[in-house]
Structure 1
Amino acid sequence: MGFDPGRLILHRDTHHGGIGFVHPGRVISDDERGLLIWVARGSVVAVERSLDGRGPRDFPFADWMAQAREPRTARWNGPGVLRFFPPGENHSVWFFRDDEGAFTEYYVNLEESAVRWDDGGAAGIDVIDQDLDIVARADGTWRWKDEDEFAERLARPDLYWVPDEAAVWAEGRRVIKRIEARAFPFDGTWCDFRPDPSWETPTELPKGWDRPVVART
């Protein structure tokens, strides 16, 4: 299942069959290297919140999971961001930028690899975030991020959706070798990307944005 360049698709973070967030992104390319999308500043998004409007970092993990939750619409207010999903790999790479559009750093999101879906009017990818992340610079330096959050959640296997801690760390270390070697995609590819000024920023999510999460085999 391929996505045509220019198509607007939905990047959905999921867990336990629910939706953590929905971000619409414009397809830049979809080829043997992977899927590359652009999420524009000001795009409408949906983000899981408690019924009183708080997010997961406003609670201890167990308390968050005990909350009644629902997705609520909001805006992507940060600078636009490229997101790259290499095929069959358990991470994505986000290209962070400053307000002027200059590249600042790579953000490696460790996650179960993207599963695609296409309902015609709406299409996208479903991933399962594994919480541990890596922040890297263009010079090959890097640091882990959210280790404490990862540990807190691993302590509650009855609630958490990550079954194999070692596999997550191993994936991160594998990516770190690429970062240190400045190998693709950490070799400067796409760092000078500029979006097509004719692209419209999505102001509404398409019908079907909350369709059932794709089952993993």
Structure 2
Amino acid sequence: MPGWGNVRRRIWFNPFMTMQQDPATVRFSPGQEILHRQFTGERLVYVRAVRVVAHDELGLRLWIPRNTPMSATMTSDGRGLRDMPFAEWVHVERELTPMRWTGPDIFMYTPPDSGHSVMFFWYPKDQFFGWYVNLEEPGVLWQDENAAGIDITDQDLDMWVNRDLSWSWKDEHELEERLNYPDHYWVADADAVRAEGLRVARQIEQGAFPFDGTWCDFRPDPSWDLPRDLPAGWDRPRVRG
């Protein structure tokens, strides 16, 4: 992708590994540690180590506690994508920077064959607060002898859902701003992104699964340790379906 500056990073990949990437056959195990990775084009821009809660015909459920190890794309002076106009971001030098997740604990649900995921938030820790719908390209699941994960592209436009099922768009201004830079922007069809959001909105307004109270009382397995670091293979090339 043009305009991403002079970013260098180590690429780890073994071409002789046995890779599975068919969502119909890849199945993660409860408690398994996998990688949740975001890309723009072929560039890795965000990655964190997450814990599998369950993975079955309903879809993939993940647990992302506070202080989870991750890497996010930042400038040398510690600024991220939202800290400057997009016109500046596409030209400034930046690189993946190790850090820890400082937000609240997250239960993330990714339905099969869908262009979104749903995050459940609690605040305080024992009180369900609301849902965050992240609109994204359908994720590609993969695993081999050494690592496993899901690769996505975030589509920027999101939704916040209150406990009373009222909802609102989030980050509309970011989507509109970035659409003015088609040579650098990764969202190819903003109308399709919004249509996916409106489809989810109908589920929300009807109180349909997963906005029907399912998993709002979730608690993680107390035996799950917090990963110390990102596992080997976190920066391998993007897996395509």
TM range (shorter): over 0.9
Q: C-alpha displacement at 1:99, in angstroms?
A: 3.7
**Which of 205, 220, 223 is the matching residue for 1:198?**
223
Q: C-alpha displacement at 1:50, in angstroms?
A: 1.4
RMSD value, Cα: 1.1
Residue 113 of structure 1: SS of its match in structure 2? coil
Distance 2:196 2:132 in 1: 14
Structure (1 or 2) with the larger CA radius of gyration: 2
- Matching residue's letter, 2:176: A
What do the CA deviations read for 1:103-136 (whole angstroms, capped 9, x no partner)? 1010000000111121322210011000000000
Distance 1:191 1:17, change over 3 A: same
Q: TM-score, normalised by structure 2?
A: 0.87
Q: Is the 8 A contact 2:49 2:231 kept in 1?
A: no
Tell me whether 1:105 sits opposite 2:130 in the alignment: yes
Give 1:127's aligned residue. Answer: 152
Q: Is the 8 A contact 1:86 1:92 kept in 2?
A: yes
Residue 139 of structure 2: SS of its match in structure 1? strand
Residue 90 of structure 2: SS of its match in structure 1? helix
Q: Is the 8 A contact 1:17 1:212 kept in 2?
A: yes
How many residue pairs end up in the alignment?
Answer: 216
Distance 1:173 1:85 in 2: 17
Tell me whether 1:48 sits opposite 2:73 in the alignment: yes
Give 2:95's aligned residue. Answer: 70
Residue 215 of structure 1: SS of its match in structure 2? coil
Which gives a bigger RCO, structure 1 or 2 (Cα 8 Å, sep 6+)?
Answer: 2
Q: Is the 8 A contact 2:160 2:167 kept in 1?
A: yes
Distance 1:183 1:124 in 2: 28
Give 1:118's aligned residue. Answer: 143
Q: TM-score, normalised by structure 1?
A: 0.96
Q: C-alpha displacement at 1:138, in angstroms?
A: 2.3
**Which of 184, 195, 204 is the matching residue for 2:209?**
184
Distance 2:194 2:125 in 1: 34
Distance 1:21 1:96 in 2: 20
Give 1:96's aligned residue. Answer: 121
Unpaired segments of 5 or more residues in structure 2? 1-25
Give 2:161's aligned residue. Answer: 136
